[in-house]
Amino acid sequence: MQVDLNERIPNNVGLADDRRLLRALERWQPAFLDWWRDLGPVGALQHDVYLRTAIGVDSDGWAHFDHVKMPDYRWGIFLAERAADRRINFGIHKGEPAWQELPGEYRAELRRLIVIQGDTEPASVEQQRRLGLTAPSLYDLRNLYQVNVEEGRHLWAMVYLLHAFFGRDGREEAEELLGRHAGDADKPRTLEAFNETTDDWLSFFMYTFFQDRDGKFQLCALAESGFDPLSRTCRFMLTEEAHHMFVGESGVMRIVQRTCEKMREHDTDDVAPYGAVPLALLQKWINLHYSICLDLFGSEESTNAANYYAMGLKGRYQETKIDDDHVLTDRMVTVPAIEGDKVAAREVTALKAMNETLRDSYVDDSQRGLNRFNKVIRSFDIDCELRLPHRVFNRNIGAFAGIRAAPDGTLVDEATWAAKRDDWLPSAEDRAFVESLMHPVTEPGGVAGWIAPPKRGIHGQRLDYRYVEFH
């Protein structure tokens, strides 16, 4: 069957006039739809979901709401508007016009950056595929599916870049993005955090709070790129990423709210018997998801990261707002390291410390989110604070890989770790408890007992609106 891709793929990249690109996408699209059917949301192909579809890049354009079946969602290709006379803002090419075509000398590096980003998008859909079976409300179910289709669109965005600028090996990489799978024994996803399963909704909200926030920082760094099509692609993706983090933050916030209500009502910290998630459990989930996400930024010292920056391919968070020369030759900074039996600091070049610099921005942003949760807890007059664990805790990449440490950063021996692990990270028992709370609530307006209702509906709709219709 011939698919009219102009019709089916809303875009602002002139697809109708680019036969070669159109043909490449035509060949890729059926594989994408097969993948969605096989590894997308379980049992949801026929559901009518109240989704927002991007049909343009201005503020009206991506606010089109309608009930659609997810396989019919119009995954579009959008780049933010081109800024007149955009320049490369950092690295050795600083001040030169931004590249509108692929800079041949950096082909391999750009391909790698795009593939790494691209791999995370379908991975998250795979990780979250079973969540639809236990959504705490139709509102939440719809938000899950919205996140899923947008991650699908982010995959389209990266595949567009591969097809439009990289020829044959770009097409091969695009195929491979559907060939690797989260948690697959033979062909796993590239980054470890994208191979975990996300089977309960506490994990989903933590995921969208922490892991989508990593996405935000990676996209912000790529949005600074001197390769303009990549920059513009990522800038538009960021508008969607903001929604994913809203889902995470408001989700955790509503759990905190319900927990605090139950703590007050029953005058106890142990609200599990009352069907709520104790703050101690929330802390363990934070410890897990945050530490996994810190790994996503890579090693404290990295030659690749230095090259990406020097070449003008991947910048820092809000690069142009930073007050320095944006070239950074000869500048030294400190990064955390292990010295003997404690955490210390070590001097490295600012260029090689790029991963750590981006991680720093992420840590600050995550802390701001936690502050908002703690404000809710304080409003109940409850003396408890949720904390980000120290960055040495539970790490698998970089200077702290394999180091045993408590959440406060104290290094511990293997025996202490074994004895305390279940106090610091979700235990099998904790997981079983959280799973025991996961029952789908499917009547319009109903919300599961372990989470407070949302403050408002979606796009002006009421809370008891049918956000998802089952078929």
Which residues of this protein are in contact with Fe ion, per CB under 5 A?
121, 151, 154, 212, 215, 241, 244
State which residue, 156 or 393, has the beta carbon closest to Fe ion. 156
State which residue, 11 or 117, has the beta carbon closest to Fe ion. 117
Which string of b and e fits 78-99 if b means at least 16 CB within 10 Å? bbbeeeeeeebbbbebeeeebb
Q: Both ends of the chain: CA-CA distance in Å?
A: 26
Closest separation in Å from C-beta 398 to Fe ion = 24
Closest separation in Å from C-beta 168 to Fe ion = 26
Closest separation in Å from C-beta 151 to Fe ion = 5
Which string of b and e fits 183-214 if b means at least 16 CB within 10 Å? eeeeebbbbebbbbebbbbbbbbbbbbbbbbb
State which residue, 93 or 244, has the beta carbon closest to Fe ion. 244
Closest separation in Å from C-beta 249 to Fe ion = 13
Report the C-alpha gap between 301 and 354 in whole angstroms.
8
Closest separation in Å from C-beta 146 to Fe ion = 10
Report the C-alpha gap between 454 and 266 in whole angstroms.
23
Structure tokens belonging to residue 412:
């511990």
Distances (CA, A) of 56 to 6, 242, 312, 317: 14, 17, 28, 26
Structure tokens belonging to residue 263:
């703590």
Closest separation in Å from C-beta 427 to Fe ion = 28
Closest separation in Å from C-beta 119 to Fe ion = 11
State which residue, 212 or 301, has the beta carbon closest to Fe ion. 212
State which residue, 16 or 242, has the beta carbon closest to Fe ion. 242
Closest separation in Å from C-beta 195 to Fe ion = 16
State which residue, 90 or 207, has the beta carbon closest to Fe ion. 207
State which residue, 154 or 180, has the beta carbon closest to Fe ion. 154
Report the C-alpha gap between 228 and 431 in whole angstroms.
44
State which residue, 121 or 228, has the beta carbon closest to Fe ion. 121
> Dihedral of the CA atoms 68, 244, 377, 285 (nearest 10)?
110
